[in-house]
Amino acid sequence: MAGSVFGKAFRISTYGESHGPAVGVIIDGCPAGVPVELEDIQHQLTRRKPGQSAIVTQRKEADQVEILSGVFEGHSTGTPISLIVRNKDQKSKDYDHIKDKFRPSHADYTYTAKYGNRDYRGGGRSSARETVARVAAGAIAASLLNKAHISVHSWVSQVGSIKLSAVGAVDYSLIDSNIVRCPNKGIAEDMIDYIKQIRKDGDTVGGLISCQIDGVPVGLGQPVFDKLHADLGKAMLSINAVKGFEYGSGFDCVTMRGSEHNDLFFKQHGEVITQTNYSGGVQGGISNGMPINFNVAFKPVATLMRDQNSIDKFGHEATVTGKGRHDPCVVPRAVPIVDAMAALVLSDHLLRSQYDRLEQILS
């Protein structure tokens, strides 16, 4: 069956298509008493919405969220929470020219081969429009985490070959100080100029989003198949256009010796911490109390404003011409999506951890 449900204790089920009437989410398992402010959800949706700057798609959606159930007087009631965002600016005619054609590196061919049909209007269910629902749910998950003093922050660390140095702490307050969401003014300006040039060329470019989760207690994660980093990896790889996930030392670990890579323990102010954090805050699939950090790689957007060779559903050669409103680079709008998916994973594991020991259950 279609995989539209995510999480085990804190569960979400998303619905809707890019050019349908609406997209939305039902959250099940959210405890009663979690603060839920419409403005907080709306803030995250505004960070994701199209048309917010000159370097993203110009589709104009207000992305106004409505709470249909599960919230009363500013707090969750413990019953399912239903959130809906109605689509307003669909231009389905922009896709009439490709209704029988398979766009290169899109889901057109695979959806047709799997289901026997597809909603060609904006990609239907395969569109990143679906992530509106994730961001809305993630805002509530973040509120739950806030009560546990856990915070999630993501930022753009690379566009094309333009990179933010990995050395030094990131000032989270600077993430939203520019339209590309890179917390370094000079590098952000270079990224913005590059994306604008890419758009003029009728092309697209990929990028990297980095994330750090602070305040995570020791003990989150459920070995062996629900290891914390495994669930984070699944969450990130489920996001449209994601091609890679690495945590801690990531792929750089292959160049290191064990004597370099081991995170040595010591005590500080009565707490066990490590001198380094190559483990990325997770050991044996369980959080160790250090910050969790990871990177998510996004491919260039598949829709180009130029002709590409392909075939149609009848097997004939065809030319796909780029048309409509599309992002030249997805990472500026994907930052709140990474935030949301990380918050959903941590909320799920935080709730599941309450059953790890008998004394926790009986307390």
Average pLDDT over residues 94-107: 84
The answer to whether residue 92 scores a pLDDT higher than 60 is: no
Peptide bond into 180 cis (omega under 30): no
Whole-model pTM: value is 0.96
Residue position matching structure tokens 């750090």: 212
Distance, in Å, from the CA atom of 321 to the CA atom of 115, rounded to the nearest integer, reads 25
pLDDT digits (tens, 9 = 90+) for 38-48: 999 999 999 99
Q: Where does the pLDDT of residue 259 fall: very low under 50, low under 70, confident under 90, or very high at 90 and above? A: very high
Distance, in Å, from the CA atom of 126 to the CA atom of 111, rounded to the nearest integer, reads 8
pLDDT of residue 70: 98
Report phi then psi at 233, rounded to 5.
-60, -45
**Nearest Cα residue to 23 out of 45, 44, 53, 56:** 45
Average pLDDT over residues 208-219: 98
Helices (H), 49-174: 108-115, 131-147
Average pLDDT over residues 275-281: 98
pLDDT of residue 118: 86
pLDDT of residue 2: 73
Contact yes or no for 181/304 (Cβ under 8 A): no
pLDDT of residue 104: 92
**Nearest Cα residue to 194 out of 295, 332, 50:** 332
Q: What angle do CA 122, 154, 273 make, to 5 degrees?
A: 145
pLDDT above 90 as % of the chain: 81
pLDDT above 70 as % of the chain: 97
Q: Where does the pLDDT of residue 219 fall: very low under 50, low under 70, confident under 90, or very high at 90 and above? A: very high
pLDDT digits (tens, 9 = 90+) for 151-201: 999 999 999 999 998 767 899 999 999 999 999 999 999 999 999 999 999
pLDDT digits (tens, 9 = 90+) for 284-343: 999 999 999 999 999 999 989 889 999 999 999 999 987 767 899 999 999 999 999 999
Report phi then psi at 26, rounded to 5.
-115, 125
Contact yes or no for 182/210 (Cβ under 8 A): no
Q: Where does the pLDDT of residue 61 fall: very low under 50, low under 70, confident under 90, or very high at 90 and above? A: confident
**Nearest Cα residue to 27 out of 167, 154, 141:** 141
pLDDT of residue 94: 65
Structure token pair of residue 69: 């159930």
Mean residue pLDDT of the chain comes to 94
pLDDT digits (tens, 9 = 90+) for 12-22: 999 999 888 99
Average pLDDT over residues 135-162: 98
pLDDT of residue 181: 98
Q: Which of 102-106, 131-135, 214-218 has the weakest average pLDDT?
A: 102-106
Go through the domains of the chain in sequence order and give each one's CATH number.
5-362 (3.60.150.10)
